Structure 1
């Protein structure tokens, strides 16, 4: 029998693989965009998101452990999954459509869903909710950065 953390980790991993659906041509477009001068941490973004996804998976596992197989827990697992899918689609969709505005919209939806998930999870586990704080802090930074990119590259909005 699989442990809940194994299933959650596997699902998180396979969903995260969706971020690899980008082509070199898409990356070239993004690489040519002007960036804000304060964006000096870009090389660390994959590590930051990895940490955030691990925190999210641990949070989901804590929620599952509190009330396994209950309807509320299944609904929360669905919200966790939806949040990860939305987050992972940010890069591939923005690059595929060459539209920073799409990235901004996806990022904004992720921020709102992250807030709603945290509030919902708080009723089940304070620790699980605290583990979502890295997402709540970083996701708006990414969305704000996308807005800054739009201001610097209006032709690519």
Structure 2
């Protein structure tokens, strides 16, 4: 039984690591970001990698739990597709916000990211309650990021 988890966890872990590394590579906390006015409640910079590491680890576990619980290959493929879309949207937000320096556009894209996390929670819940619960910190963190993103737009716009 434990062995049947090994390969899927390795694959999901590598996928999560790739999304995290690409997003991290795109993220630039340099002079432009530092010069932005931010609300007083902005999380400290050291918290972001800690939070994202935990979120990506939980997402990988949730993906495998749901994939393994899938009753057929159509559902298993849908799980992979939903997580792939979410990873793409996650990276795209970093690209728009940090590289394009467009927090206004990034906020619009973040709404899609938030919806994709919500869709993952609802979809995964149909097959694995554990997986759905494991994704709750993700939607909480994206909600916080959304509020922060919106505050940055309000404090610094127009872009």
Q: Whole-Å Cα distance in 1 between the matches of residues 23 and 102 of structure 2?
A: 16
| Corresponding residue number in structure 2 for 1:17 | 21
| Corresponding residue number in structure 2 for 1:5 | 9
User: CA RMSD of the aligned region, Å?
Assistant: 2.1
Q: CA deviation at 1:67?
A: 2.9
Q: Whole-Å Cα distance in 2 between the matches of residues 141 and 20 of structure 1?
A: 18
Contact 1:20 1:92 in 2 (8 A): no
Q: Whole-Å Cα distance in 2 between the matches of residues 41 and 132 of structure 1?
A: 23
Deviation beyond 6 Å, 4+ runs, structure 1: none
| Corresponding residue number in structure 2 for 1:101 | 104
Task: Provide structure 1 residue ranges, at least 5 long, that are not aligned to the other structure.
Answer: none
Contact 2:66 2:128 in 1 (8 A): yes
| Corresponding residue number in structure 2 for 1:59 | 62
Q: Whole-Å Cα distance in 1 between the matches of residues 114 and 134 of structure 2?
A: 15
Q: Report the CA distance shift for 1:3/1:40 in structure 2 as closer, same or farther (over 3 A).
A: closer
TM-score (norm 1): 0.88
Q: CA deviation at 1:121?
A: 0.9
Q: Whole-Å Cα distance in 1 between the matches of residues 145 and 114 of structure 2?
A: 10
Task: Provide structure 2 residue ranges, at least 5 long, that are not aligned to the other structure.
Answer: none
Q: CA deviation at 1:23?
A: 7.9
